[in-house]
Structure 1
C-alpha cells in the first residue's frame, strides 16, 4: 500500500497540486494542512466521526463513529493528525489556538466543563506510573488523537506514521519516558519500502523513527536511523578541518573543525505551493516569513563565527569542491538530519570538551542558512546549551534562551510554518524551555528568580532543589506536605473538581504518588513509609515509588526486599537502566545468579555502552553452574546506590578450575567482557578479568594482550597476574622446541615483526605455536620487562627463552630473577625468620643449579665464577646473623663444589 497525495500533504504540511474530484475528506484535509483547526474539527465531516457523549472517560465524551469506506478511514486519520497538531501548536510552537477541546462537545452542553475535561485528559495520559505534565495546554486534544488513531484504518497507509507521531509526543509529556509494547518499526519499514522515488518522505520517516528512539534513550538505534535518513535524502556530509581564525587577534591561520555538507534534494521543494484546486477556499494571506532572532556574541576577543581562508578544506572526494567560507544552502529536511546527527554525537560520546567541539560545526552549518522557524529555533537552542559552559559565551547563552522562550508566545510566524517540520526535530515544549531557562538561572546563582519560575510551572521537585540551594530545606518539605494535605492547591485548571463544599482538593493518583516520592527523597528517616504510601496511592502503578524503595532496601543490605521492589519497578517501566542495574546488584548479593544475569542482560540491551553491566554480566555467567559460589563483587562503593561492582580478577580464582563452570558459560563471559571493553578500554580491572576468562576459553593471544593492557594502564603498579603468565608460557613450552641455532646465524628473535612476516607467522593459529610465542616475546620485551621487576616474571621469561634455545638470554633472565628476589635483597645485619631464610637458601641453590645447566651452553660463559660469586657474596652478608643456622652447611658445600670445579 502506498501513500495517496492527500496523505502526503497531511504528513508534510504542503498541499501541492492535488487534482479534483473534491470529497469531504479532501476538503477536511486541506483545512488541516492550512492549520485551520477550528474549521476542520467543527466541520460536518468531523462531527460525523467525533460524536459528543456523556460518561466518566474521554472515550465516552468523544465517541468515535465507525466507518467502512476509504473516505472514512482517511477522514479519521486526518482528524487524528489535526488533534495532534493542535496540541503541538498549543504547547510547542505557538501561536495560541483559536479552539478549545470543549468546543467539540457543543452538542452535549453541561456534560463536561473545561476543567473536568482537562483533568480527565491529564489522568488518562498517565502511563506506566508516570504522570503527564498537568499544566499542558489542551491535553484533551492529544487524548482524542490517541482515540482516533486507535481505530483500524486498513485503507490508509499513513495511519502507522501518525501513530508514531502521537506516541512520540505522548512520551514527551510524561515525567519519564515509558516504553510500550506497540511495534511501530515493522509497519513503517514496510511503508518505507514503498517510498522509492520519494527521497524526502523516506528520509523524514527514518528521521522521525530515530527521534522516538532518542526520546527513549536508545542512542544506537537512533543513530542508525539518522544515518538511514541521510542516505535516503542523499545528504553528503563530512566533519573535517580547514584553515581559519576564531579570534580577532589571531595572526596566523590554524586548522579549525568544519562540517561540509551538500544536499541532493531540490531546494525548491521548500517553497510553498499551496494554491488550492477549484472548489477549495484559498488560505488567508500569510504573515511574512520570520525566524527567531539570532543574538550577536559581542565579545572583544572571539569572532562571531570562524573565519575560514580561501585555501579550502582538507576533505577529499565528493565534498572537496565545497568552500567552508561560503557553504551552499541546504534543504530544510537535511538541516533537520544534521541537528539529529549532532544529538547523536552528544549521546554516544563521553562528556568532555571534545564533544562540544564536535557538535558545534553541525549547528553552525544549519545556522548559516536560516530556512524554517522550527529548524532555526532548535539550532539556536542547541547552540545556547553548548555555550553555557564557556565564560565568553555564557551571557549570550542565557539571553538567547530567554529570547527563545519569549518568541514561543509571539505570533511572528504563521502556525503552518511553525508546525511543518516540528515532528522532525527534538524541539522542547514551552514548559521544558522555561524549565531549562530556570535551571540556567539557578546554575549562575539567580536562585530566587528560578524558584519563581518553578513555582509558576508547578515543578515541585525543582522548587525543592531551589529551597535547598537557599539553605532552607525545611521550606521544601513544608511545601510538599502542604500540597499533599490540600493546604496549598495547584492550578485551578488541574485540581478543580465538582465536589461538596469544604472538601479539600486532591491531586490525581499519579500526581499524588509523585509528591509522596518527593517527600520520601526529602525526609530520610521516614523515607520507606513515604515510598510505601506512594505505592498504595498509585494503586500499585508508581514505578518511581518501587525504584526508590528498592534502592533504599539495597542501601540497607536487605537484598530480598530490594529484589522484590525492583522487579515490580521494572515490570512497570522496563526502560530505566538504573533500576535494572541495581536489581542485578541485589541479585548478585543474594547469590541469585540467574536473576542477576537477566537484569544485567537487560541493562546492556538498553545501553550497549554500559561497560560495568557487561562486566557484571560476565561475572554472572561465571557463577552460574559453579560448584562453589563466591562473594559478589568488591565492596568499595557500598554507600552509593548504583554501586561499582567491577570484580577484581582474583574473584574468578574459584570459578576457573577444571570443571568448576560449564565451558559455555565461560565463553559467554568472554564475549560479554570483550564487548564491554569496547566502551571501557582504559579500565584495567576489566582487562584483568578478561585475561583470566580468555585463558580459560583458550583465547591465549587475547589473554596475553589483556595482561599487557593491565601493566600499560597502571604502569606496573597493579602488578602482573603471574598465574596467567605462567600458563601462557606453559602453552608455548609444551610445544616443539625451536631448532638449535647454527654458528653461521644468530637465533631469530620471534618478537621481531619482520622475522615473523618472513617466516609466515601471520597465517598460523594465534593461540598456539610460533604465533603465540611471538606475541609472548612482544609482551615481555615491550611491556613487562621495562615496567615490572618481579622474580616470577623473570622466571617465566627465562622458560620462554629456554624453549627458544636462546641460552645466553635465558641465563641472564634467571640471574635477573635472583637479583629481584628476597635473597639478593637481604643485607648485612638482617635477621630473617626461618621461612624467609629457607627461601633465600633455596633461591641461591636454584640459581647455582641453573648456572650449571645453562652455563655450558653459552660460549665464553664464566658460569662457575658467577656461581661461586653468588654463594660467596650471600654468605658474606649473612655470616654474622645466620652462621650455623639450618641451610648454612648447604651453602658451604656449594661454595666448596664451585671452587673445586673452577680449579
Structure 2
C-alpha cells in the first residue's frame, strides 16, 4: 500500500491524529505514538534502534563528533519515502522529548542511551553523561555556549542531526527544522543569527499549504515568534496580523461601560478586546472538557492553578454593565463583552503573541500595560489548553509585577507556574500541541525570572539560592553585590576556575575515569571562557589579562570575551583596539546591537566613516526603535560628506522609515559642502529616530538644522517648536534658534514671483514646498514661541511676517515690542558704553522709519506722536553722549518730524 506522506505530516504538524493514514502499519503506529506523546515506545522500537545504531569504529567514540556516530539508515525500510518519514517521525519524537523534559514536564521516562544500539566492545565508552556533554558542546553556536544544565540535550542534538539529512518526499521537514532552530536559540546564552536560507525556504514551502487556514496561520505565527526571538519585533507584528487573517480570527480593541473596583459607583468606559474565532468542523476539546462553551465535565485541576487577587479594592476582573461596545458600527458589536464565546486555542496563541508584541513596540509607560491586559484577559476567560493557559497566566504575572495591589499575586502566580512543571496534571500531547505557537520560556528561564522577581522585591537570599541552583554565576555575583558582599562573588568565580568548586557533573565530568584530557578540555572551554570574562568584569585592574585569557581558552570563539575586550579598550580611549575586538565579536554574533553601537562610536572617534555608517545601520536594522543610533547614523552621513565621501541612496519600500533620495550629481553642490544626497539621508535618519526619542531636544535641534539645509521647511518649523517646548522653561529666549526662525520667515514671506523663479532652478522646487508654510510659521509664533519667550529679534521676525500679510497695526505693535526689548528700549541713564549707544541710535532711527512707513496705513494711529515720544525718551536718557558726532543724527530726526507736521 502506498504511503500517504501528506496525511501523516499533517497529523504530526497539528499534534492531533485524525483518520487512518494509508501505508505500512508500523510507520502509522509510530506516527500516532509520537502525536500521543508515547516517546519511549517510538524511540525504543526496533526501527528506531536501527536508525540510532552506533557505527563500529576503532576510535574512542568520545573523540568523534556525534554526526560521525550514526548513518541514520534502516534496513527494514523498503523505499526512500519510508526512510524519510521514519527519520522525520524520530526527529519529532526527539525534539518533543527534549521539550517535555525542559519546557512542559512531566519528567521523561527515557534516557539517551536507551535509544542507541551499541556494540558490546563500545558499551563501556558510551554513557548518558558522554552523550549529553558532547551535545552541550556541539549545540554551542555563533560564539554562544549552550546552557550547561539543560537536561538531556542529546535529544535536541539528535533531532537536529536527523533534520539536517536530505528530505525529498517529506517537504514539511523544513518547518520542523525551523522549530528545532527556535528551540536551539532558547538554549544559547544569547540569540544568534540562524542560517540565512532557513526562513526563505520555509516561506517558499508554505505556499503549498495555503489552502489550510490553520496550518497557514500557524506557520505565520511561528515565523513571527522566531522574529520576536531575534528582536525583529516590527516584522513580527506584521506576521501576527497575517496569521489572524489566515485563521479568520476577528478581533477589535474597543471600550465598554463597566466597573473595575468594588466601590465604584459610576460606570466608566473600560478597555476590552472583542474577539471571535471562525467556526471549525472539529473544535478542539479543552482540558476542562468544554467545547464551544459547554460546561466542564472534568475537574479543573487539569489546568494550571489560577490564583485569585483577593484585594480589598480591585475586582477579580472587570464587570461590564453594557452588552454593547462603546464604538458605534463595530463589526463585533453583536458580542457581549462579559460573555464572549470561547476562542480556538490557535487564535488564543495569536492574541498572546500580539500582546507580547505590544510590549516590545510601545514606549515604556502605563498605557502599554493597559493595552496588553485585555488580550490576556480574553484568553484567560476561556482556558482550553494547558500550555496556552500557562502562557496567559505568565503574561498576566509580568503585567502585575509593577503594581502595588497586584505584585503579591504576580509573584505567587509565577511560583505556582514553576511548581506545576513536574506534575502530571495534564497529558503530554496537550502540553506539547501548541507549544511551538507560544513564547513559553524553558524551566530554567522561568526559574530565573522568578529569581529576578525576588531580587526586585528585595528578597535577595531567595534569589541567590535559585541562581546558585541554576549555576547562573553572573546573577549570583549580582546578588552578592546587592547584599554588599562583592568579595564573595569574586571568590566563587575564582574557586570555579581553580577547581575548588565544581559545577554539575553533567557539565564538567571531571571525576569520570573514561573521560580523556582532550575531551575535558573541549567540554570545559566555553564555560571556562565565560568565567574568565566574568572575572574580568569583577576585577577591572586585571580585566585585560582576564579577557585575553577567555579569548584564548575558548579557541578564539568566545563572542563574550571580544565584546568585553572591545568595551575595555573603548573606555580607555584605545579606539583602534576597540574596533579590532568588536569586529571579531560581531563576526561571531551579529545580532547584539550594543556591540555594533560601540563599534560605530569607536569608528567615529577614528574617523572611519564608512565603518561607522555600517555599524549604526546594523544597529537600526536590529532595533529600528533605537533613536540614538538613528541620530548617530545621521551624524555619520554628514561627516562622510565633509570627508568627500558620497553615500549612494538606497530605495526602501517604507518611505517613512527608509533613507531614500534621488540621485544628485556633484555639479549640483557647492564646492566643499556636504553632498545633498548625504544631507537628505541624514534628514531621513533623524526623522525615523525622533519617533522613538520624541523628548530628546538635541535630536530635534539637529533635525531642525538638517531640515532647513535640505529645504524641508515644514519639518524645520515643527522641530523648532519642539525645541522651544522642551527648553524654554530652562533657557528662555536662548531656546529659539533665531537664525532658523528668520530663515523660516523669509521663506514664508517671499513673493509669489520669487517662488516661481526658484522653481525654475534645478532641485529647489523639490526641496522647498511652501504651500501652507505661512500659516504654519504664524502658528509657531502664536501658539509656541510668544507665550513662552521673547526677544527683539523674535518680535522683528514676527513683525515681518505680519507685514507680509498686510496686518499693519499688529505689525506696528510687534515692532514696538521689538524696540522695547532692544538695546535702545532698555538703555538706562548713566550708560557709558559708546559702542552700545551708537547701536541704540541705529535702532531708534529704524523704529522711526517703521512708524513713518506703516503708521499712515493704520486708521487713527498717531504715529508721529509715538515717534516723537521714542526720540524724546531716548535722548533724555542719554544726554551724556551729546558731544558724540552721532548725536546730530537724533536732532536731525527730531527736526524732520517737526517739519512733517
**TM surpasses 0.5:** yes
- 2: CA distance between counterparts of 1:703 and 1:583? 31
Choose which of 689, 692, 713 in structure 2 pairs with 1:700.
713
- 1:28-67 to structure 2, matched below 5 A, reads 28-53=30-55, 54=61, 55-65=63-73
- 2: CA distance between counterparts of 1:290 and 1:259? 26
1:302 is aligned to 314
2:529 is aligned to 513
- 1:405-416 to structure 2, matched below 5 A, reads 405-416=418-429
Q: Is the contact between residue 397 and residue 411 of structure 2 (CA under 8 Å) also seen in structure 1?
A: yes
1:428 is aligned to 441
- 1:701-780 to structure 2, matched below 5 A, reads 701-715=714-728, 717=732, 719-736=735-752, 767-768=768-769, 771-780=772-781
Q: Is the contact between residue 710 and residue 767 of structure 2 (CA under 8 Å) also seen in structure 1?
A: no
2:280 is aligned to 266
Q: Is the contact between residue 52 and residue 104 of structure 1 (CA under 8 Å) also seen in structure 2?
A: no
Aligned-residue Cα RMSD (Å) equals 2.7
2:576 is aligned to 560
Of 859-868 and 534-543, more deviation after overlay is shown by 859-868
Gaps of 5+ in 2: 56-60, 288-297, 646-668, 755-764
- 2: CA distance between counterparts of 1:556 and 1:811? 59
- 2: CA distance between counterparts of 1:306 and 1:801? 55
Deviation at 1:604, TM superposition (A): 1.0
1:196 is aligned to 210
1:809 is aligned to 810
Q: Is the contact between residue 234 and residue 265 of structure 1 (CA under 8 Å) also seen in structure 2?
A: no
2:161 is aligned to 147
- 2: CA distance between counterparts of 1:770 and 1:379? 51
Deviation at 1:615, TM superposition (A): 1.5
Q: Is the contact between residue 812 and residue 851 of structure 2 (CA under 8 Å) also seen in structure 1?
A: yes
1:399 is aligned to 412
- 2: CA distance between counterparts of 1:27 and 1:82? 13
Q: Is the contact between residue 16 and residue 35 of structure 2 (CA under 8 Å) also seen in structure 1?
A: yes
- 1: CA distance between counterparts of 2:825 and 2:166? 86
- 2: CA distance between counterparts of 1:531 and 1:683? 36
Q: Is the contact between residue 5 and residue 85 of structure 2 (CA under 8 Å) also seen in structure 1?
A: no
- 2: CA distance between counterparts of 1:331 and 1:519? 50
Secondary structure of the residue aligned to 2:436 is helix
Choose which of 95, 100, 125 in structure 1 pairs with 2:106.
95
1:86 is aligned to 97
- 1:498-509 to structure 2, matched below 5 A, reads 498=512, 508-509=524-525
User: Kindly tell me: are residues 574 and 711 of structure 1, through their superposed partners in 2, closer, same or farther at Cα, counting changes over 3 Å?
Assistant: same
Cα displacement string for residues 304-342 of structure 1 (whole angstroms, at most 9, x for unaligned residues): 111111442214332101111111111011111111111
Secondary structure of the residue aligned to 2:176 is helix
- 2: CA distance between counterparts of 1:441 and 1:57? 41
Secondary structure of the residue aligned to 2:878 is helix
Deviation at 1:218, TM superposition (A): 0.9
Cα displacement string for residues 855-901 of structure 1 (whole angstroms, at most 9, x for unaligned residues): 34444443333222212211212224x44346334333333333343
- 2: CA distance between counterparts of 1:127 and 1:772? 56
- 2: CA distance between counterparts of 1:861 and 1:353? 56
1:544 is aligned to 560
User: Kindly tell me: are residues 243 and 657 of structure 1, through their superposed partners in 2, closer, same or farther at Cα, counting changes over 3 Å?
Assistant: farther
Cα displacement string for residues 393-444 of structure 1 (whole angstroms, at most 9, x for unaligned residues): 2222222111111110111111111111111111111111111112222222
- 2: CA distance between counterparts of 1:857 and 1:205? 74
Of 541-550 and 227-236, more deviation after overlay is shown by 541-550
2:683 is aligned to 670
User: Kindly tell me: are residues 499 and 45 of structure 1, through their superposed partners in 2, closer, same or farther at Cα, counting changes over 3 Å?
Assistant: closer
- 2: CA distance between counterparts of 1:24 and 1:149? 21
Deviation at 1:272, TM superposition (A): 9.3
1:756 is aligned to none
User: Kindly tell me: are residues 480 and 889 of structure 1, through their superposed partners in 2, closer, same or farther at Cα, counting changes over 3 Å?
Assistant: same
Secondary structure of the residue aligned to 1:773 is helix
- 2: CA distance between counterparts of 1:522 and 1:547? 15
Choose which of 457, 463, 481 in structure 2 pairs with 1:468.
481
- 1: CA distance between counterparts of 2:614 and 2:548? 26
User: Kindly tell me: are residues 770 and 294 of structure 1, through their superposed partners in 2, closer, same or farther at Cα, counting changes over 3 Å?
Assistant: closer
- 2: CA distance between counterparts of 1:839 and 1:627? 41
- 2: CA distance between counterparts of 1:36 and 1:661? 68
- 1: CA distance between counterparts of 2:785 and 2:210? 58
- 1: CA distance between counterparts of 2:581 and 2:197? 28
1:223 to 2:234 alignment: no
Q: Is the contact between residue 235 and residue 261 of structure 1 (CA under 8 Å) also seen in structure 2?
A: yes
User: Kindly tell me: are residues 562 and 811 of structure 1, through their superposed partners in 2, closer, same or farther at Cα, counting changes over 3 Å?
Assistant: same
The two structures have a TM-score, normalised by structure 2, of: 0.88
1:526 is aligned to 542
- 2: CA distance between counterparts of 1:99 and 1:485? 35
Deviation at 1:765, TM superposition (A): 8.9
- 1:152-301 to structure 2, matched below 5 A, reads 152-266=166-280, 268-271=282-285, 290-301=302-313
Q: Is the contact between residue 24 and residue 45 of structure 1 (CA under 8 Å) also seen in structure 2?
A: no
2:83 is aligned to 72
1:12 to 2:14 alignment: yes
2:893 is aligned to 894
Q: Is the contact between residue 297 and residue 304 of structure 1 (CA under 8 Å) also seen in structure 2?
A: yes
1:828 is aligned to 829
User: Kindly tell me: are residues 254 and 523 of structure 1, through their superposed partners in 2, closer, same or farther at Cα, counting changes over 3 Å?
Assistant: same
Deviation at 1:377, TM superposition (A): 0.9
Q: Is the contact between residue 807 and residue 858 of structure 1 (CA under 8 Å) also seen in structure 2?
A: yes
User: Kindly tell me: are residues 769 and 131 of structure 1, through their superposed partners in 2, closer, same or farther at Cα, counting changes over 3 Å?
Assistant: closer
Of 812-821 and 857-866, more deviation after overlay is shown by 857-866
- 1: CA distance between counterparts of 2:562 and 2:490? 21
Cα displacement string for residues 695-754 of structure 1 (whole angstroms, at most 9, x for unaligned residues): 22222222222222322343474522222222233334443479xxxxxxxxxxxxxxxx
Q: How many residues align?
A: 836
Deviation at 1:853, TM superposition (A): 3.4
Deviation at 1:592, TM superposition (A): 1.8
- 1: CA distance between counterparts of 2:376 and 2:643? 57
- 1: CA distance between counterparts of 2:470 and 2:823? 71
- 2: CA distance between counterparts of 1:769 and 1:667? 18
Deviation at 1:23, TM superposition (A): 4.8
- 1:107-146 to structure 2, matched below 5 A, reads 107-108=118-119, 109-146=123-160
Cα displacement string for residues 359-380 of structure 1 (whole angstroms, at most 9, x for unaligned residues): 1111111111111110111111
- 1: CA distance between counterparts of 2:190 and 2:275? 35
- 2: CA distance between counterparts of 1:303 and 1:213? 36
- 2: CA distance between counterparts of 1:287 and 1:322? 28
1:606 is aligned to 622
Choose which of 628, 633, 637 in structure 2 pairs with 1:617.
633
Deviation at 1:123, TM superposition (A): 0.8
- 1: CA distance between counterparts of 2:34 and 2:153? 19
Cα displacement string for residues 510-553 of structure 1 (whole angstroms, at most 9, x for unaligned residues): 11111111111111222222112111211221112221221222
- 2: CA distance between counterparts of 1:553 and 1:140? 39
Q: Is the contact between residue 288 and residue 413 of structure 1 (CA under 8 Å) also seen in structure 2?
A: no
- 2: CA distance between counterparts of 1:296 and 1:522? 43
Q: Is the contact between residue 704 and residue 779 of structure 1 (CA under 8 Å) also seen in structure 2?
A: yes
Deviation at 1:626, TM superposition (A): 1.4
Choose which of 334, 344, 354 in structure 1 pairs with 2:357.
344
Secondary structure of the residue aligned to 2:741 is helix
- 2: CA distance between counterparts of 1:225 and 1:183? 18
Deviation at 1:291, TM superposition (A): 1.0
Secondary structure of the residue aligned to 1:342 is helix
- 2: CA distance between counterparts of 1:254 and 1:579? 48
